[in-house]
Structure 1
Amino acid sequence: MKFFGAICLLSCFPYFISASSWFSASKFNPVDEDLTVQGNKIPGANPASYCSDWDRESDHVTIDYINLLPNPPKAGKNLTIQGQVDVGTTVLNGSYVEIVVKYGFVPIVRERLDICEQAYELADVECPVEAGVIKKEATISLPWAIPPGRYYVVAKAYNANDEQLTCVSATVSFSHFGFQLIDQD
């Protein structure tokens, strides 16, 4: 479940952060200095974009950047996620994210996750998360046994009143199971 938690962390980054301890007005991005938004692409070293069929005018969250180290993620390795967001509304208990993960074209996960529970489990952050500019870094271990192939992810986040917060989509490819064959010569 950590893999899908990582996807949730990537897509719902703003809610996993304690604004009071991580508040920063700086827009400095240590990995990717080009923070210009190109189309729906989320700035930074990541495969994520805002959802194309989503009305961003109603969003309560703007993602300044998200960096994945390494990018692309590697099975069996640590994944560090760095990011900064502008949260326009306090995120309360009851906020949630609807995640759909497809392996190729086959849906393998269709789940509704509590944002506050995920925030506490993955980043030791408790709700409510106050509005403001938030900057955070988190590292998780990805499992070795991630089947090779393309994963298509859509994460739609809503507050406790069912108002949209943001929607993020990404395509992540894994080329092997994360283990190597060793020559026995």
Structure 2
Amino acid sequence: MRVFSVACIAALSAGNLVSAGSWFGGNDASVKEADKVPGNSPLQFCEKDHGQDIVHIKQVDLLPNPPESGAELVIHATGTVSETIEDGAYVQLVVKYGLIRLVSTKASLCEQVENVDLKCPIEKGVLSITKSVDIPKEVPPGTYNVFADVYNADHKPITCLQATVTFGMNKKTAESIESAGDL
């Protein structure tokens, strides 16, 4: 869905800020199933009331899930926008690598949705989006936590999402480390 992609793109754009993979990833066993965004992704709704959210996410699927560094990630999202999202909408974005805060910023949502070929205003209705992104092979192994709290220009909540991803060493990285050890 387009506005989910707002959050997702805010997330993806966090990906652009920190590497596209930072938004998505592994499963957190402590997460309550009711808080999970429907579909095949690690996305979760933030722990707050979502009754007034402008975007109601129906489903988000990632392929592959979890994402892999150096690979293409396909995101498919669907949902409903209950009122027009105007220019001036914004996302409060925090990305952490373990305990280290990599990004803490307020970004224009309307600029971010351009990454999925959308433009503000985003009209109300049922929306669907599919987007492919390349995850850089240089994404360091470790756990990334992303928090995106999204608001319309009038500060009404659009949605709030979070995700945890753990990137391990892929085969190439492991081979490089082994080769370096032989020197």
TM-score when normalising by structure 1: 0.76
Residue 51 of structure 1 is matched in structure 2 by 46
What is the RMSD computed on CA atoms of the aligned residues?
A: 2.5
Greater percentage in helix: 2
Q: What residue is the counterpart of 1:28 in the other structure?
A: none
Q: Distance in 1 between matches of 2:121 and 2:40?
A: 28
Cα drift, residue 175 of structure 1: 0.4
Partner residue of 1:136 out of 122, 129, 135? 129
Structure 2 unpaired stretches of 5+: 13-31
Aligned pairs for 1:69-84 (under 5 A) are: 69-84=63-78
* Closer, same or farther: CA 10–111 of 1 in aligned 2, 3 Å: closer
Q: Pick from 108, 111, 114: which aligns with 2:108? A: 114
Is the aligned partner of 1:40 residue 2:47? no
SS of the aligned residue for 1:165 comes to: strand
How far is 1:179 from its partner?
3.3
Deviation at residue 7 of structure 1 after TM alignment: 7.9
The count of aligned residue pairs is: 154
Query: Displaced runs of 4+ in structure 1, greater than 3 A?
Result: 5-8, 177-180
Which residue of the partner structure matches residue 146 of structure 2?
A: 153
> Once the 2 structures are TM-superposed, how far is the Cα of residue 176 of structure 1 from its aligned partner?
2.2
Query: What TM-score do the two structures reach when normalised by structure 2?
Result: 0.77
Unmatched 5+ stretches in structure 1: 13-36
Q: 1:66 aligns with which of 56, 60, 66?
A: 60
**DSSP-derived class of the 1:91 partner:** coil
TM-fit CA distance, 1:6: 10
Task: Name 1:16's counterpart in structure 2.
Answer: none
Measure, in 1, the Cα distance between the counterparts of 2:70 and 2:105: 24
What is residue 126 of structure 1 aligned with on the other side? 119
Q: Percent identity?
A: 36
